[in-house]
Amino acid sequence: TIKGVLFDLDGVITDTSVYHEQAWHELADQLQIDWQPAFAEQLKGVSREASLAVLLNATGHPNDYSAEQKAQFATEKNDRYLALLQQLSPAAIAPGMTAFLTALKAQNYRIGLASASKNAPFVLERLGLSDYFQARVDPATLRKGKPDPEIFSRCVALLGLQPAECLGIEDAQAGIQAINASGAVSVGIGAKDVLAAAQIRFETTAELTLANIRQQLK
C-alpha cells in the first residue's frame, strides 16, 4: 500500500521549469553558446552546476573556463531565474495541485519534497504550500543528483517509509529514472514520448487525483 508521496517541484507543483529554461537560454546567449532545442529536456531535474556543465560541454572547449568563471556564470543564471520569479504567487500553483495536496493530507499520506533546487524553500513559501511538506531533502547535502536515486531514497527515509510504499511525481526524464532506481512508484507528468519510463503517467497535473492513480496502479 502507498503511504507517502514524494514531489518534484519545478514543472510539477508549479511551472517554474520554463523560468529555469529561460534563464539558461539568456545565459547561453550572453556566452554566445548556440541554444539547442534538446537542452530544454536535458536540463530538467539537473542541478545548477550540472546544467552549466551541459551548456559549456556544448562549446566543445569546456576547460577554457576557470572555476571562478563557472561560479560566476551559475550566479548570473540564478540572478536571472530569481528575477523571473518576482511575480510568483499562489496563482502559479499547477492545476489541481492544491486539491491533490489537500486530499493527501486529509487521508494521512506522508508528503515529502525531492527537489534539486536550492530555491525550493523560497518557491514553496511564495506559493503558500510550505506547510504540506513533512520532509524536504536539502539538495546541498546530496552526493549525486538525479538520475541517481539518492534524493528519492533520502526522502523516503525522512518520511519513515519503504520505497515501495511511496509514489514519486516527476516531469523530468532524469527524475523518472531516479524514482525507478529508488524502488518507489514513478508518476510522470507530461508527454508520453518524453516520459516513457514512468510507471504511471498523466498529461497534466489536472488529472492527478488519488482515484486516477489507483486506477492506473491496478
Residues in contact with ligand BG6 by CB under 6 A are: 9-10, 17, 20, 43-48, 51, 78, 115-119, 172
- Is 187 known as a binding-site position? no
Strand pairing report for 110-113 and 135-136: parallel
**CB-wise, 29 or 138, nearer to Mg ion?**
138
Q: Draw the binding track, 147-186, toward Mg ion (x: CB under 5 A; -: no contact).
A: ------------------------xx--------------
Residue type, 149: P
Q: Which does 78 bind (CB under 5 to 8 A by kind): Mg ion, ligand BG6, none?
A: ligand BG6
**CB-wise, 80 or 201, nearer to ligand BG6?**
80
- Report the catalytic residues: 8, 10
- Is 46 known as a binding-site position? yes
- Is 79 known as a binding-site position? no
DSSP characters for 146-200? TTSTHHHHHHHHHTT--GGGEEEEESSHHHHHHHHHHTSEEEEES-TTT-TT-SE
H or E stretch covering 17: helix 17-30
Q: How far is the CB of 214 from ligand BG6 (least distance, A)?
A: 27
Grid coordinates of 83:
528575477
Ramachandran quadrant class, 160 (left: phi over 0; alpha: psi -120 to 50; beta: rest): left
**CB-wise, 29 or 79, nearer to ligand BG6?**
79
Q: Which does 110 bind (CB under 5 to 8 A by kind): ligand BG6, Mg ion, none?
A: none
Question: Cα–chain-centroid distance for residue 131?
Answer: 18
- Could you say whether residue 21 binds Mg ion (CB under 5 A)? no
Count of alpha carbons within 13 Å of 185, Cβ hemisphere only? 16
H or E stretch covering 67: helix 67-84
Q: How far is the CB of 91 from ligand BG6 (least distance, A)?
A: 20
**CB-wise, 84 or 103, nearer to ligand BG6?**
84
Q: Which of 147, 153, 145 is nearest to 117 (CA)?
A: 145
- Is 117 known as a binding-site position? yes
Annotated binding-site residue numbers for Mg(2+): 8, 10, 170-171
Annotated binding-site residue numbers for substrate: 8-10, 24, 43-48, 51, 77, 115-119, 146
